[in-house]
Every structure is written in C-alpha cells, then in structure tokens.
Structure 1
Amino acid sequence: MKTWLKKASAIVLTFALAIGLISVPAHAAATPLFTIEGENATLSSDLQVATSIYGTPKPGYTGTGFVWMQNSGTITFNVTVPTTGMYSITTRFMQELSPDGRLQNLTVNGVNKGSFMLPYTTTWSIFDFGYQKLTAGVNTIQLKAGWGFAYFDSFTVDVANLDPLNPLPTLTDSQATPETQLLMNYLTEAYGDHIISGQQEIYGGGNDGNAELEFDWIHNLTGKYPAIRGFDFMNYNPLYGWEDGTTNRVIDWVNTRGGIATASWHINVPKNFTTYTLGQFVDWKDATYKPTDTNFNTANAVVPGTKEYQYLQLAIQDLAEQLQILQDNGVPIMLRPFHEAEGNGGANGEGAWFWWAKAGATVYKQLWNLLYTELTQTYGLHNIIWIYNSYTYSTSPQWYPGDAKVDIVGYDKYNTVYNRYDGLSGVPNEDAITSIFYQLVNMTGGKKMVAMSENDTVPSVQNLTEEKSGWLYFCPWYGEHLMSTAFNYPATLTTLYQSNYVITLDELPNLKVSNPTQSSTITPTSATFDKKTASQADIAVTMTLNGNTLNGIKNSTTSLVSGTDYTVSGTTVTIKKSYLAAQSVGTTNLTFDFSAGTDRVLAVTIVDMTSTVNNSTISPTSATFDKKTASQADIAVMLTLNGNTLSGIKNGSASLVSGTDYTVSGTTVTIKKSYLAAQAVGTTNLTFDFSAGTDPVLAVSIVDTTVVLPGALTVSGTAGNAQATLTWTASTGATAYKVERATGSGSYTAIASNLTGLTYTDMTAVNGTLYNYRVVASNTAGSTTSNVISLTPTGTTPAGSFKVQMYSGNTTSSINTIAPRVKIVNTGTTALDLSTVKLRYYYTIDDNKTQAYWYDWSSVGSSNLTGAFVTMSTPKTGADTYFEIGFTSGAGTLAPGASAEIQIRIARTDWSNYTQTGDYSFSPAGSSYVDWTKMTGYANGALAWGIEP
C-alpha cells in the first residue's frame, strides 16, 4: 500500500486524457428542508397580509395570503439546519410595479448579504437569493425593503445543490503541447479538492527592480512559496516596448523552480490614435488602456484593412514572439488576455474599464476570437490554457466567448474596499464569495473550472472549506493588496499556506511529460446519507481505474473493512448503510486508496432527520376585526395539531387567558371579541404556542370603521418649465396624502406618498406634455379622492435643462470613503455646454479634517473635471458641506438626450470614517442610476435641477 501523503505532492499525472462520466450531484430530498408562508413569518408593523392589491385580487398564492411590502418593512423567520454549509434561499413573489426591478436586502444571522433586484413579473414566480452559508442549529433570515413594493408569498430554504466540480481536462486547442495538456490534467485533478496558491508579480521594473519582493515576503511569513506566479506581457508592445525580462522569469519559474505560470496582457493603445503612425515610437505616458483616454475605435480593431486592425496585428505579433519562446522551452502558460472586460456592467461597453471592451460585448467576443485564431493558427502556438475573465451581472453571459475558445473562467475578487456587505471598512474581507463562485460554475454548466484570477484579501481556509467554495486558485495583486494588513491578515495567510487545503510550490507534482502515470476517478464524489431509519440507503460508487487497482478505503486514518463496511463488484463500490449510520452528523470524507496516481475522496454529508418535528398549523393565519360595536365578532381558528398540543396563546410576551380571552373546543379555538375590542388599531399578532415545532401566528388587522372618512379636498396647481406644482385644501380627518398622475390608460399611479403637507412639485414633468393629477387623502377608515386637475408645463425648454441621476457606490453607514456615482442627462432640445454646469453633493463633514477627492472615471474624461469642497454658511438638516463638481471646456457639450457619467471618491486624508446616515444627498440603497433631486445642478449659476437642503 502506498504512503498516505499530505495532499497534492502525491499526485502523479499523465499526458493522456482521463476519460470518465461526469457525476451527478447529490440532490436534496424532493421535499425542501424548510418552507414558510410569508404570513407566518415575523412581520414588522408596516407590513400587511393581503389577498388583493387596491381591490384587485392576486390569485395563485399559497396559504391564506401574501405579504405586501411597500416602501419599508422587514420579514423575518428562523430556520434550523443540521450542519454548517451552503443552503439555497428562494422566495415565491410578484413584482408588478417597476420593469427595471425593485431592490431588496437580505440579512443572514445579522450579516448583510447584499442587495437583490427583484425582476418585474405579473405572475407568481421564484426568485433565488443564491447560496448562503448557514451554521448548524437555528439561523435568522431577514428580508428588508430597499425599494420595496413587492408581494411575498412564501420562502424556502434547502440544502444547496452544488455542482460536483469535475470538468473534463479537455483543452479547447486539440493540438495542445504535451506539457500544456499535462498541466490541464493536474488542474482538473486538484479542482474542488484543493485551492492552488498564487501571487502576481510587479511588472515593468517596479519594487526598484526586485520582482521577488512579494514572493520572499510570503516565504518569510509562511515558510512556503506560492505554486502559481502571475506575469504580465504589457511591455512587449508596438509603442514603447522594451525587454523587462518577463519571458525569462516565466521560463525560470516553470522549468527551474517547478511552478505554474499565468499571465495577463495590459496591451496599450496610443492616446491620440488619429495622429499615430503605425510602427511609430510612443512614450508610455502617451499610451493608455483606459477607454476614455483614447480615440482608438475598438469596433474597427476586428475589421481587416482598418488602421486599428493593423495596430492590433502588430500587438499580437509582439505577444506571439514571447509565447513562441515559452513554447520552444516547453513552458505552458495560463493566458488571461482582454481581462475584466465588462467592468461595471452593461452589454454595450458602458461600464468598461479597458479599451478592448469599449465597443460592447459583441465586438469583444470578436476580439477574443481573433486573438485565439491568430495565436493558435497563424502563429502555431499550442502552449496556452485560455482564461476568460467574467463577472456576474445580468449581462455577463453576453460577453462569454463560448466553450470552444475558453478553458478556465476567472473572476477578480476585490471586495475589501468596494462590494462588501458586512458593514466593515479598513480591514480584510475574508469572504469566500461562494455564491459568486457557483454562479460562474453554472454559467458554463460546470464544464469549465473557475478561478480567482486576481484578488485583494485571500479568503480564509475556514470559509473556503465550510462553504465548499471550490476556487481553482487565488492570486493576490502585488504591493499593498498582499502585504498591507488592511487587505490581508498575516495570521490568516500563514494558516492558509500551511493548511492541507492549499497547494504550495513545494507540493506541486512533476509537471513534465516524463511522468506517465494516470489517475483513477470515482463517480460521484459527493453524496448525502440520512440516519433516519426509514431513509437509510447504501451509496454506490463507480470507479474508472485507468490501469490501477483499489487498495482500500479510509476515513481519516481508519481503514474501512472490506465485505463489512463496503463491498466491491467489478468497478462498483458499495458503501454499506450500516457503516454510514454509525458516523456522526456532518461531513465524512472517505478516501479511495489506489495503487498509483491520485487518491479520490467521496464526501458524504451525514444528516439525521429522525428528530424532525411535524409542525402544527392554524387556519386562517390572518383576519380582520372591526372595533365598531355593531361589527364586532369572535374569530374562529382551526388547528391541525400533527401530534402536538396547544400550550397557550400569546400577544407578544403577554399570555391570553383561556376561557376569558379565548376558548378551545376540539381543534377549534375562538378568539373572543371582548379581547379583540381592547386592542389598538393596527396589527395584533397572536402566537399559538404548541408543544413542539414552529409556533404559527394569527395576524389580526384591527380597524375601527367608526372613524369618519377623510373630508372633501380640492386641488389646484400651476405649471412652469419642466415641473408642475399642486396645492390642495386640508381634508378633515386625513392623516396622509398621496399625489397620483394618470398613466394614459385610464388609471393612476402614485408619484408621491405619505405626504403630510398640502403642496407637492412634480420635477419629472416634461414641457409641452399634458398631465392629469389628483390627490388622495387617507386615514384608518379609508380614503377620499380630490378633483382631477390638468396641467401642461409651458415655455421653451432652456438650453441649460438637465437632470441629475445618482446612486451611492458605498452604502455602509460608517465608512472612510464617500463614493457618489453621478450621471447628468441633457433633457433640453439643444446641446448643453458642460462648462456652464455645476453639480453639488451635500453631506455632513462630521469632523473638521482635511479632505481629498478623486475622479476614478468619467465618460468626459477625469482631467476635464474640477472639484471643490464648500462649507455652507448656514448648515441645514443633513448638510453642512457640499462637494461641487465642475467641468472644463475640454468636457465639451452634451447632445439632447445624451448623458455623462462621473465616479467620485471623497475621503479624509487620515482615512477616518464618515457617518453617511442622514446625509442629505446620500442614497442608502440602490446600485443603479435613478433621478436624484437631493443633488442640485446649476446652469450659469441658476438652479436647473434638484431641491437644495
């Protein structure tokens, strides 16, 4: 029997392809682990259980109704899970207000898991919140309204049906060199069982020429070197190209040090491509990879005969020369060209960070295909494993070049400063981002491996293993992204590098073709076993031996007994249920010991549903009680006990008195009207306490129709340029007003709600358009509708007409960086001279310290923007300071209907935190542009948009 070694150092590979079946994932039982009707969850007081909306029934819901969430509210429920791991959370919902989606926020055990955009649907549909880690025992899940306005019927939690992570090692290039195929074989062997360590080197002579700085730092810290080294071929280019030794360092890393190499290609273009002559020397300061800093036409780069196409061919030739040197030296390379294409999202290049994505997804895929064809066919390079950089936006699948030209999917994790949801800042984010991982796995149906091709914080080994987050490798960017404690805790890196889960340089096998051994495989590699007697079943495993033999099976260091714990018949191994029933709840890893090659692991999730309690239910779960004397009536509730008994009924912490407040007759409980009449108007939640299982809640809506309807009201109004102002008389007894605008189909939609004043200005009106408005007054008894008023904004739209849209890039309440994302849209009929425009973002400075700002990106060019911090002479609620954005003449003009985007960061020079909560211009929810009147805009010094604080 061969020695049972630590991990990958024992892996011996073959050049020949391993042929085998893709195993089927272990599915959860047909019945989900947990389902709860929305009306049975804990609802905040501003939510209501409904069966219709504004008198229109919404049939098809389950249970007794659904939760109607408007612009606020929380839905909370607890779920008990048997083991710590990944679970899916879904909701059955309807959202018929906004075609653009409505944002909601998910929290698990008090930790914000992010914002989710519920799509538009007029039928009951399923929305998936992705895979989330739950801990063994009770977990609290909460959904909070972001933009709200959706209906929630039920929620389901189930064991995550994770992909088995066993793609075949088939390269897209059928002529791949032996070394390249051998590397691909190894990567698929390690994938899902281990993560390979990596590190990006600095390029272009950085670190004063010391390319080993990060690698020596890792070794001094952990005693290990990373297995993968990241390189960049950016300095081999037709402009300022120079030999910085990258290719020689790749050869040394692979052939001398025994490592694996990956490389990106920050290929530059001239900033002024119009005046550029092909072959001309261009200083690096006059070259760029940013789409806003060049007039290079990306769409032309795929059109033969154009100057852009010819330039790209020159760049590909420079790259091919270096790759040919690697191929001549037997060095395979994992190449990641045209990386991070989609940037901030969008199919048309609107979120692009690099010139190669400027023309959108269609042209990008043509660029990828062109590069792939040129390198593999024209230049005969077959030492490449092709890595495509993806994201998980709704438009991301449109950028994917296709399975035929992609070997590995990469994702660049930067979520320590941006994109984190835990409310922290200034500290590493060790999240394994497992939900993103499996979204990328699912994008190719599990056919491609998924790697963390760049990152800031390396996820902790605990998060990686508990969440079964099977990233192929990690690769931190150089400098502070690795070595600053703001991005990586040294203790975490040490634990990670020294763990059995992480493969380091010293643990790589011999990846030269002189080693011909082929590994065996097993199918499946994961399964679930239920210790409940009626559910117990053997687990059958199929082996593909590839010339090897099975020596035995081990659980850690303990060998299973052949014939008792398992049996072997041909290539089928049967793990006996008697053995599995004796294992503890959790994950049991059974290692198949083969005579040669890699030992395979069957991960068995052991659960025990024996103690599962059948919950009691009540019907109905919601009711209405009218305090008006003539309308008062008892409420009868039917019990389905399912073997339990009723212990009592509570209103909050107060117990109802049996025989007085309620009576029990068989399975019928009667809530007495005398008790209900004593409750306040609103929702009274009565919890039925049963001897076991979940305690259901009866939500009683207490109303009092003795309250008089709101009195009559009359609305009048005036119309100006791009706005309409409504004024109305007070309605007797009204507690709130809302303004409605006709939709053109005979119905009205609310444009402002919960108003307590008697005036409202519609800033979204358009000149020359007739609008019909009305006002609705309401109180607990009902509502009264005003007369309809018709207003047409008059006058000629001034040349300075525009609107401002905004969302906050950082939505954490306490954070060291304010990050408005701003868009100005020309709503006028003539070009808008941006040099006449000023925009203001209002906030409280909190502490009188020096501030700085950065324009990260703008569609008009960051160099064409000005900025200034202004202290307000008279502080207002939510604002004592504003940041003013200005434009130079170089920003040009905006055509009618056109827009310009600006991405800003504002911070104190000592990086202390701001408190954004309550800041006038701050938007606490949202990740896409919306009209934002809390930012003001001025044309030639006159207010043209927004409301000043």
Structure 2
Amino acid sequence: MNSKLKRSVSAAAASVLAAVSMTAAVPAATVNAADTSFPYTIEGEDMEGAELWEKIYENELPGYSGKGFAYLTGGELSFTVTVPEDGMYTVSARAAQILNEEGRFQTMAVNGSEFSKTIPYTKEWKDFEFGVVRLNKGENTISFLNKYGYMAIDSVTVKVAEPHDYSKATDVCVDPKATAETQALMKYLKSVYGKHVIAGQQEIYGGGHKNNYEWENEYIQDLTGKLPAIRALDFMNYNPLYGWDDNTTERAIAWVKEKNGIISASWHINVPIDFEGYELGDEVDWQKCTYKNYQASNSTFNTANVLKEGTKERAYFDEAMKMLAEQLKRLQDENVPIIFRPLHEAQGNDGLYGDGTAWFWWGDRGPEVYKGLWKLLYTTLTEKYELHNIIWEFNSYDYETSPLWYPGDEYVDIVAYDKYNVEYNRGDGKTSGPNLLAIPAKFDYLFNLTNGKKMVSMSENDTIPAVDNMIVEDAYWLYVCPWYDGGEDGGTAFLSEKYQDLDEFKKFYQSDLAITLDELPEDLYKGGSATPAPATTAPATKPAETKPAVTTATAVSSTTAPADGDIRYGDANLDKDVTLADALLILQYVANSKKYPIEPQGIINADCFNSGDGVTAKDALSIQRLDAKVISSLPEKA
C-alpha cells in the first residue's frame, strides 16, 4: 500500500479509536470508560484539587466557560481519562497568566512524565498546547503541577493527535547545484522517512578509542551482527590553530566508496581563548583553544565581529572555512556526498539574548548573529568554493524561542535534534538507567517547525529509543546516532548499559524498522530505491541473528493455519490480500459491529493477534505493524 493511502487509513483509524472511547463526563475529574468521544474537555474548576475562582483578587478575567476557572497556586490539579488502546493525544489548556510579564514556566505531568511550557503574560483566555503525549490503554492521570504555578485554567482539552504526514518533506536539496550523488542520497533519505529509522554511530575524533577508529563499529557488530548505515565524523581537527590530519576525510571516503555507507559530520571549530593576543597564523596549543562560549571559557573572541568584514574574527573564520572546504572538496572529487551539521546546538541553554549562556561560541550572541553565521558558511562553501556535495542539517531545540534560530527553508535540508535524557529531563518517571522514550513531543515540535517540509533526525543521542515506542508514538526519526565511547564505563560510555538497554539496542538493529549498512541499496548513489540490498559487509565477529525475510501482503499466512487453508490471518474483508484496509475494517467493527459487520470467515481471519482471544483493536495494530515491516508474518503473539 502506498504511503499516502497508509496515512489516510491511519487518520481514519485514529478517528475510529476516538469513537471507540468514551461519551460523558462523570463526577469530578474522571472520564468514564463508557462511550465518551474525543476531543474531551473538562472545566478547570472540575479537576481534582481545584477550587472555583471567578476573578484573581481584583483582576477580572471575563469570558471563561462553566462556573469559573481554577487557579494553580497550591497543590496539583488533576483528572483521569480512560482510553481503549495505546495512542497519541494532544493536551491543551485554555489559560491566562497575569503574574509575570516575561512569561512563567508551567509543568504538566502525564502518568508521571513531565512536559513543560512557558505561558506568556495574557489577561485573555488563550489555548496553549502542552505537546503530543502517549496515553496508555486504561486509566491515565493528567496533572498540572505547582512548580512555578499562578496559571489560571479555564478548561483542558484532550484530543486524538493527527498522524504526521511524512510525504510533505522535500527530497530536493536546497543547493540547486547539488551533485547527482548528493541528490540521489537526498531522495533515498526521503524514500525511507516515516517508514524506517536509519542506524548511525558517531566515532571519537583525534585518535579513536585506544587508537582504534573502528572500535564502536566492532562493538556494535559483535553485539548485533550488524553495522550502522551512517558513520558520523567531526572535522574539528582541521583548523588554523593546532590542526592535524587524523584521516577523517580518508575514513569518510572509504565508508562510502568501499562500504556503500552514508556519512554525516559536525564541526566543533575552535577559537583561541586569548583571541586579543592571537596573531593570525600562529600555532596555539589545543589546551588554549575552545569551542565553548566566551563566558564559560573566558574567551575574548567576539562572535558578532565574524559578520563584519575587515575584523580579525572574520579573517579567522575565513581561514577556518578555507581549511574545511579543502576537506569537503576532497570528498566532492571522489563523488562522496555528506550530511553536514555545522554550528550545531547553538541554542543550548536557550541563549536568546546573547548573554553567554549558550554552550558554544557560535551561539553566544543570540539568534540573529547565529543565522548570519549559518548563511555566511552556506554561501562561502557553495559559491566561493563551489561545494555541492552537502546536505545541510540544522540542529534545533524545542524552546519557545527556537523558531528565531532557524536559518530558513532555503538554507536547510534536514532539521535535527540531539537527545540526552538519561541524566536530566528524563520524562519517564525513572531516576537512572537507559531512557527508551521516543520523545514524540520533541519530534512533533521539530516537525511543525517547518510544517513538515524538512525531514527530522536524531543527530546525537544517548539511548536509542525503543522500537515499539517509535512506532506507537509516531516518531519516525530519519536516523539515530549514539555519541562516541569517550573511554568511560569500561570503554563503552554511550554504548554501555548505563545508557543503552542492550536487548532493545539489539532488537532495533535486527528489526525491520532499522536500516543497517547491509540494507542500503547497492545503487544508493545512483538513485537507488528504498529496498534493502543483499548483505555486502564482512561477517560478524559472532554469527548474526538474521532478520526473517519480509513477505508481501498477498503472501501473508500463518504457520499454524489448518491444512485446509481456510484461515488467512489479517484478511478481514476477504479480498485475498492483507492491507491497511483490513486494519480499518477491524477498528470500525470494534467501534460498532452492527454498522460495520464482518463476515464469519473474516472474523476468524481478523483474529491475528493472540489468535483465539477474539477481534480487538490489537488485531488492527498487528496489521499496521506488518505493513510497516516491523513484523514479517501473522498471527502475532503477545
């Protein structure tokens, strides 16, 4: 089934699931599991822990619904909602905030996982979305926490989230002169986006892990029997200060030419800490250099001056771009395209006002200077140095101010997010260990940042999200890419059990969701399709656990079917094919079996999840999983 039809069926399925849910609000703060339809709205004053307010002291807030509103000042305000199956929902509050003119941070919790948002100063009731959240089958508790508080809540609405329309993303490079290989890679990325997640891995720069640049890949291959499709590099060592050739470029060329892989790269470009005392052309010990912001490193480098011709900062940056261009030109001469992620994480710490709180120097003077740097780099590399082998990847966050940092659609091919939520901002209710969330709210934010026009990747991460989470939460990151080993935790760091659930890691690499090196098309750089190619990599250190071959929808059958062949698992509509149309029919049947009947044989066929327990929405999910190639045959067991 084509992706457009797949999305339309998914949207219809979401509507049916909503209809299967509940109908009437019942006593204080609980939605009954009877038949209430979404969107569901609860008045603020009806939430658990709420008191009825009609004004905030002397401040009138006219236009509220119901009897009044709730005011978040003391304990938490909460309500319970029951849903029939796991799924994605949006939660929004009709709210006002009259305490802080600069805005006030507010936190919502869903089953213990927290979502935060800055609510601006407003005397008028306005709707504020707190994000796309996952609700689990059964009861779910949604709470507004009094961490900062003083938010007036007129009502809260829960509605079924619209599935992402991945087809909106462009497959055309922003560089109109992109090389044939670069454009072919861009088209391939788009062909798998929303269907698969490409496996990537960052290598350590400088000297590799114990002088072995292949350590991470060898570790992954030994664990999973597979190699990542994307090798992520860093061009930081090619710089005007202490630059040395660590053969990054050679490894990039070999990964593409010899392995048929994909490369991406960042650029931790350094500046001298004592820039005032620095003379252009001087060698500087790496310990006296920095890529941190001026405040954190005591650097005298003024980022804003890079945009001014004739300054020493501009002259330095020109030399840095020249050295970078030399390496990218070597790639271009070998017909090697690159996903390039320069000037990354600029908004770290939300350094909006240029106050030095940003993580890196390129973000320490705020968004306007940063966008100027991005455009200067883009123009210099594409026009002055005539480099057209670059897919431009922009790092973003999901702050209220993030749109101010976006360089513009004409300068960006891919929008990326760097996920680190093991130590901080976990959101899963745990305090340690791997964090398997697919962070769908952040994916949704980045998707909406460009109205879906740009593919969204996870360019760095600690834990790779669980396969099931990425599917159920509709967060199909273009690729994932754990950071390098770093020599911690016995040498494994971000590949260690502190950060990775090794069973889930292995499950991802061996799932049909993931695309690994052996599954890239052989003609990848000649416009190859998304169909995985035969394995071409060296044998694994230990035998690989090979994925089962994916059967087509028409060939799906059960290995446990009777000899007479009467059961064709999944074929609910008896058209001798298993498609998402069957999934939709099952969902309609579950919602209203009288209106949407299924033939007796279709009932038998439809019972394809835990066969024997009757027809449920989980049977439809199994068919969707089959269509997405997450599983290879039916029936599916729990």
- Cα distance in 1 between the residues matched to 2:502 and 2:585: 45
Q: CA deviation at 1:53?
A: 3.2
1:311 maps to 2:313: no
**1:526-541 residue pairs with structure 2 within 5 A?**
none
Higher alpha-carbon deviation: 419-428 or 59-68? 419-428
2:498 to 470, 476, 486: 486
1:402 maps to 2:380: no
1:89–1:158 contact (8 Å) kept in structure 2? yes
1:69 maps to 2:75: no
TM-score scaled to structure 1, two decimals? 0.53
Secondary structure of 1:317's aligned partner: helix
2:115–2:130 contact (8 Å) kept in structure 1? no
- Cα distance in 1 between the residues matched to 2:410 and 2:9: 23
State percent identity of aligned pairs: 47
Cross-structure match for 2:595: none
1:553–1:592 contact (8 Å) kept in structure 2? no
**1:686-835 residue pairs with structure 2 within 5 A?**
none
1:270–1:286 contact (8 Å) kept in structure 2? yes
Which digits, 9 at most, give the CA deviation of each residue in 1:848-883, with x for residues without a partner?
Answer: xxxxxxxxxxxxxxxxxxxxxxxxxxxxxxxxxxxx
- Cα distance in 2 between the residues matched to 1:56 and 1:483: 55
CA shift in 2, pair 1:514/1:462, >3 Å:
closer
2:184–2:528 contact (8 Å) kept in structure 1? no
Answer with 1 or 2: which has the greater Rg: 1
2:347–2:397 contact (8 Å) kept in structure 1? yes
Q: CA deviation at 1:81?
A: 1.6
1:331 maps to 2:336: yes
Secondary structure of 1:261's aligned partner: strand
**1:770-919 residue pairs with structure 2 within 5 A?**
none
2:409–2:450 contact (8 Å) kept in structure 1? yes
CA shift in 2, pair 1:122/1:500, >3 Å:
same
CA shift in 2, pair 1:398/1:514, >3 Å:
closer
Which digits, 9 at most, give the CA deviation of each residue in 1:347-390, with x for residues without a partner?
Answer: 23333111111222111111111111111111111111000011
Which digits, 9 at most, give the CA deviation of each residue in 1:262-320, with x for residues without a partner?
Answer: 00011111222222222222221222112223211211112222221111111111111
1:26 maps to 2:11: yes
- Cα distance in 2 between the residues matched to 1:84 and 1:270: 52
- Cα distance in 1 between the residues matched to 2:320 and 2:120: 43
Cross-structure match for 1:415: 421
1:84–1:135 contact (8 Å) kept in structure 2? yes
Secondary structure of 1:312's aligned partner: helix
- Cα distance in 2 between the residues matched to 1:139 and 1:483: 33
Q: CA deviation at 1:52?
A: 3.0
**1:197-346 residue pairs with structure 2 within 5 A?**
197-292=199-294, 293=297, 294-346=299-351
2:340–2:390 contact (8 Å) kept in structure 1? yes
- Cα distance in 2 between the residues matched to 1:512 and 1:501: 19
- Cα distance in 2 between the residues matched to 1:123 and 1:556: 56
1:456–1:477 contact (8 Å) kept in structure 2? yes
**1:516-527 residue pairs with structure 2 within 5 A?**
none
1:299–1:363 contact (8 Å) kept in structure 2? yes
- Cα distance in 2 between the residues matched to 1:266 and 1:227: 23
- Cα distance in 2 between the residues matched to 1:202 and 1:223: 21
Q: CA deviation at 1:559?
A: 9.0
1:553–1:559 contact (8 Å) kept in structure 2? no
Cross-structure match for 1:126: 127
Q: CA deviation at 1:552?
A: 8.6
Q: Which amino acid aligns with 1:395?
A: T
CA shift in 2, pair 1:578/1:392, >3 Å:
closer
1:25–1:163 contact (8 Å) kept in structure 2? no
2:573–2:582 contact (8 Å) kept in structure 1? no
Secondary structure of 2:99's aligned partner: coil
**1:92-241 residue pairs with structure 2 within 5 A?**
92-109=94-111, 111-166=112-167, 167-241=169-243
- Cα distance in 1 between the residues matched to 2:467 and 2:528: 32
2:416–2:458 contact (8 Å) kept in structure 1? yes
- Cα distance in 1 between the residues matched to 2:569 and 2:427: 44
Q: CA deviation at 1:48?
A: 1.5
Secondary structure of 1:26's aligned partner: helix
- Cα distance in 2 between the residues matched to 1:302 and 1:22: 45
Secondary structure of 1:48's aligned partner: coil
Q: CA RMSD in A?
A: 3.3
1:505 to 490, 498, 517: 517
Q: CA deviation at 1:429?
A: 1.6
Q: CA deviation at 1:226?
A: 1.0
Q: CA deviation at 1:578?
A: 5.8
Secondary structure of 2:95's aligned partner: strand
Q: CA deviation at 1:54?
A: 2.8
Q: Structure 2 unaligned runs (5+)?
A: 19-36, 532-550, 558-567, 590-597, 599-605, 607-615, 632-638
Q: Which amino acid aligns with 1:380?
A: E
**Relative to total residues, which structure has the larger helix share, 1 or 2?**
2
Q: CA deviation at 1:148?
A: 2.0
Q: Structure 1 unaligned runs (5+)?
A: 5-10, 12-17, 520-550, 568-572, 594-598, 604-949
Q: Which amino acid aligns with 1:67?
A: A
1:349 to 351, 354, 373: 354
Which digits, 9 at most, give the CA deviation of each residue in 1:588-647, with x for residues without a partner?
Answer: 576899xxxxx98999xxxxxxxxxxxxxxxxxxxxxxxxxxxxxxxxxxxxxxxxxxxx
Q: CA deviation at 1:69?
A: 2.7
Q: CA deviation at 1:423?
A: 4.9
Secondary structure of 2:518's aligned partner: helix
- Cα distance in 2 between the residues matched to 1:563 and 1:73: 52
- Cα distance in 2 between the residues matched to 1:53 and 1:332: 59
Q: Which amino acid aligns with 1:312?
A: F
Which digits, 9 at most, give the CA deviation of each residue in 1:547-584, with x for residues without a partner?
Answer: xxxx99559656988996499xxxxx988976764554
Q: Which amino acid aligns with 2:132?
A: Y
CA shift in 2, pair 1:105/1:513, >3 Å:
closer
- Cα distance in 1 between the residues matched to 2:186 and 2:384: 23
- Cα distance in 2 between the residues matched to 1:24 and 1:297: 53
Secondary structure of 1:208's aligned partner: coil
- Cα distance in 1 between the residues matched to 2:429 and 2:363: 32
Cross-structure match for 1:91: 93
- Cα distance in 2 between the residues matched to 1:397 and 1:412: 16
- Cα distance in 2 between the residues matched to 1:19 and 1:207: 45
- Cα distance in 1 between the residues matched to 2:585 and 2:425: 47
